[in-house]
C-alpha cells in the first residue's frame, strides 16, 4: 500500500466510500488491509455492503433514515437471519371489515372500503418493529367505487362513479379523487384534489400508481384505453388505445402494470405489449418496445390481464412507517431491490359466452430476465409439457418479491 494512502484519515475514507455502491465498497476492502479495517469498522459501510449483497436497496425517505447506522445494520442482519433460518413470526389480526369484496395491500398497508368509508390496517411485524394500527377514513362527499393506495407518497386514490340514469347501459361519469392515506385530506402534493371527470359506458376503472405516474383504464363502446397521468401536476402524459374490453370478472385483474417510472406493460388479446412513456414530452404517444406473444387458444373469447401483488407472502418489501410514528419501535429503512423481484404470469381458461372459469397455471420470471428480453427484442412463448401450446384465454402478470 502507498504510504500516502495510509495518511488519509479513516473519517475521510469513510465518507468517500459512502458515495459508492455496495459492491464497489467491498472491492475497495480488497485493495489493502488499511481499507479493509476502515470498512469493517464502519457500521454505515457494512450496511451498504450487505444491502447490495442480499439484494436490498436503501429507502432514504424512511422516517428512520437518520437513525444510527449500527441500529440499521442490526435490523438488516436480523431480517436476513430470519429469512435464512426460516424463523417466521406469525401475526394474527382480527378486525371488523366493511362488507366489500375488494381490498388492496401495498407496503404493509391493507385497505378495503364500503360505499362511504375506507378502512385501513397497518400490518404488524415483530421482527421489523412494526406495530398493529388501524384507522378509518370517513366524511367522503362522494361514493367510493374503487381505490388504490401508495403509502410511500401517503396517497389514496378514490374512484367515484356517478350514474345519471338507472339504466345499466347508461353512461357513468368517473372522477379520480386524490386524498391522503393518513387522514383523508386533499393531497398536498397534488395541484388539484381531483384528477379528471370522464364518461364511460361499462366496466370499473382500474388504477395503478408508480411514483408521480398514475395509470387508469377507461372503456367506451367496448374500446379500452389506458391513460397515464402525472397526478401531482394534473397533466395527461400519454394514452394506450385500441384495446378490446372483455372483463366479466370486474375487479379481478388490471389489464396493465407499470414496470418502471418510464415503462408499462399492457395485456391486449393474448399479447403482452411493452411501452416506454415519454415523460419529458407530454401528449406524445407511448413508444412500443416489445411484444410477448402467448399461444392462441381455441376458445370463444380470450384476453390478457395484468396485476401486481406488491406484498404477497413471498414479499418482504420494507418501505413502510414513513407516514406515522410507530411508538418507540425502529422501522427498517430498506426494501427488496427491484432486480430481485419476479414477474408471475398467471393463466386461467375462460370458455363459452359466460366465461366459465377453469384451470389456472402460473409461471415465475425474474424481472432481470424480462429486461434482458426487452433489450434483445425476443418473441416470448411458453410451450406446454407435451410440447404443444398451453390453451389459455386469460393471463395476468403479477409483480412479487421473491
- Say if residue 266's pLDDT is above 60: yes
Q: In this structure, what C-alpha cell is assigned to residue 178?
A: 386524490
14 contacts 40 by C-beta, under 8 angstroms? no
Give the model confidence (pLDDT) of 230-244 as tens digits: 999 999 999 988 766
Q: What is the mean pLDDT of residues 350-363?
A: 50
**H helix or E strand, kind and range, residue 229:** strand 223-230
**DSSP letters spanning 95-128:** ----S-S-EEEETTEEEEE-SS-EEEEE--BTTT
Q: Comparing C-alpha atoms, which of 19, 42, 54, 23 is closest to residue 335? A: 54
End-to-end CA separation in angstroms for the chain: 42
Q: Max Cα separation, the chain?
A: 85
Q: Comparing C-alpha atoms, which of 299, 296, 313, 307 is closest to residue 358? A: 299
Residue 278, judged by CB atoms within 10 A of its CB (0-12, 13-18, 19+), counts as middle
Dist CA 12 CA 335 (whole Å):
28
Dist CA 324 CA 133 (whole Å):
10
Domains, the chain = 3-84 (no CATH), 103-401 (2.40.128.630)
What's the whole-model pTM score? 0.68
**Percentage of the residues of the chain whose pLDDT score is greater than 90:** 18
- Say if residue 247's pLDDT is above 80: no
pLDDT at 317: 28
Q: What is the mean pLDDT of residues 52-80?
A: 72
From edge to edge, which strands make up the β-sheet containing 235-244? 207-210, 213-220, 223-230, 235-244
Give the model confidence (pLDDT) of 151-173 as tens digits: 889 999 999 988 766 655 667 88
Amino acid at each position: 500500500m502507498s504510504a500516502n494512502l495510509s495518511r488519509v484519515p479513516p473519517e475521510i475514507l469513510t465518507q468517500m466510500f459512502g458515495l459508492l455502491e455496495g459492491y464497489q465498497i467491498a472491492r475497495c476492502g480488497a485493495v489493502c488491509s488499511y481499507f479493509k479495517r476502515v470498512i469493517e469498522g464502519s457500521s454505515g459501510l457494512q450496511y451498504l455492503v450487505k444491502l447490495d449483497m442480499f439484494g436490498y436497496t436503501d429507502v432514504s425517505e424512511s422516517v428512520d433514515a437518520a437513525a444510527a447506522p449500527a441500529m440499521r445494520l442490526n435490523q438488516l442482519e436480523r431480517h436476513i437471519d430470519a429469512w435464512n433460518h426460516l424463523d417466521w413470526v406469525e401475526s394474527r389480526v382480527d378486525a371488523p371489515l366493511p362488507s366489500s369484496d375488494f381490498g388492496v395491500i401495498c407496503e404493509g398497508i391493507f385497505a378495503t372500503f364500503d360505499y362511504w368509508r375506507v378502512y385501513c390496517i397497518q400490518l404488524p411485524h415483530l421482527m421489523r418493529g412494526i406495530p398493529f394500527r388501524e384507522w378509518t377514513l370517513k366524511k367522503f362527499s362522494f361514493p367510493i367505487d374503487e381505490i388504490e393506495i401508495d403509502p410511500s407518497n401517503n396517497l389514496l386514490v378514490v374512484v367515484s362513479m356517478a350514474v345519471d340514469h338507472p339504466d345499466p347501459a347508461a353512461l357513468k361519469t368517473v372522477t379520480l379523487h386524490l386524498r391522503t392515506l393518513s387522514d383523508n385530506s386533499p393531497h398536498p402534493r397534488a395541484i388539484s384534489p381531483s384528477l379528471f371527470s370522464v364518461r364511460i359506458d361499462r366496466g370499473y376503472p382500474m388504477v395503478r400508481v408508480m411514483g408521480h405516474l398514475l395509470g387508469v383504464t377507461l372503456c367506451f363502446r367496448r374500446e379500452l384505453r389506458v391513460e397515464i397521468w402525472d397526478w401531482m401536476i394534473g397533466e395527461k402524459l400519454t394514452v394506450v388505445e385500441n384495446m378490446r374490453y372483455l372483463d366479466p370478472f370486474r375487479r379481478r385483474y388490471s389489464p396493465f402494470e407499470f414496470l418502471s417510472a418510464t415503462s408499462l406493460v399492457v395485456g391486449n388479446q393474448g399479447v403482452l405489449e411493452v411501452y416506454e412513456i415519454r415523460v419529458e414530452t407530454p401528449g406524445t404517444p407511448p413508444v412500443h418496445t416489445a411484444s410477448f406473444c402467448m399461444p392462441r387458444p381455441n376458445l370463444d373469447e380470450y384476453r390478457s390481464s395484468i396485476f401486481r401483488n406488491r406484498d404477497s407472502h413471498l414479499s418482504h418489501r420494507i418501505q413502510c412507517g414513513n407516514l406515522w410514528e410507530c411508538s418507540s419501535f425502529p422501522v427498517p429503512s430498506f426494501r427488496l431491490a427491484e432486480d430481485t423481484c419476479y414477474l408471475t404470469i398467471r393463466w386461467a381458461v375462460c370458455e363459452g359466452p359466460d366465461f366459465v372459469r377453469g384451470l389456472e397455471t402460473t409461471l415465475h420470471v425474474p424481472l432481470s430476465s424480462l429486461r434482458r428480453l426487452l433489450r434483445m427484442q425476443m418473441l416470448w412463448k411458453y410451450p406446454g409439457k407435451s410440447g404443444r401450446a398451453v390453451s389459455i384465454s386469460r393471463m395476468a402478470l403479477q409483480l412479487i418479491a421473491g
